[in-house]
Amino acid sequence: MKNASTSKRGTKRLQTRSPERRRFSNKARNSYENNLNRRTITLTDKLRSFLSSASPTSSKRLIDAIAIDLGDLWAAGREHGSFLDGILRMNPVRNRERIASCLISGTTAITSEMDWHLRSLKRCVPKLLNDLDSGSRRRVRPGSRPR
């Protein structure tokens, strides 16, 4: 992969990335993705345990679906932030076509994933809210005094 860089005199020269540098950038990207995956799994587990304790009457399947959707939305937001950082590092004059291509492909992928999780949450959250509401009401036995 060749990159154009400018020397001190303002002339352009082509720079080639060495195989070691490419391997390093691939390792860094893989490390970032693995770290993001681990953090997403940790967050999802925390959400699952929190929601289970908040609504013990809700089904495990409902809790899992909501925790996974929220965790994946968080991860998609992080990916979107790094995507935007990458675009902002580009030269707006020289990289117009590349910026347009990144905007089209990146926003399409991110919005389709987010849309799927949001539709899933729209189905699941009302059920959880109903369970939370019914669990928060204290049932008073006939003949006993309310507290």
Does residue 106 belong to any structural domain of this protein?
yes
Return the pLDDT at 105: 82
Does residue 23 belong to any structural domain of this protein?
no
DSSP label at 90?
S
For residue 63, is pLDDT > 50? yes
State the Cα–Cα distance between residues 89 and 94, nearest whole angstrom. 12
Does residue 139 belong to any structural domain of this protein?
no
Range of the domain at 79: 28-132
In one-letter notation, the amino acid at residue 5 is S
pLDDT in tens, 79-90: 888 888 888 888
Token couple for 35: 């770290």
- What is the total count of domains within the chain? 1
For residue 69, is pLDDT > 70? yes
Return the pLDDT at 1: 45
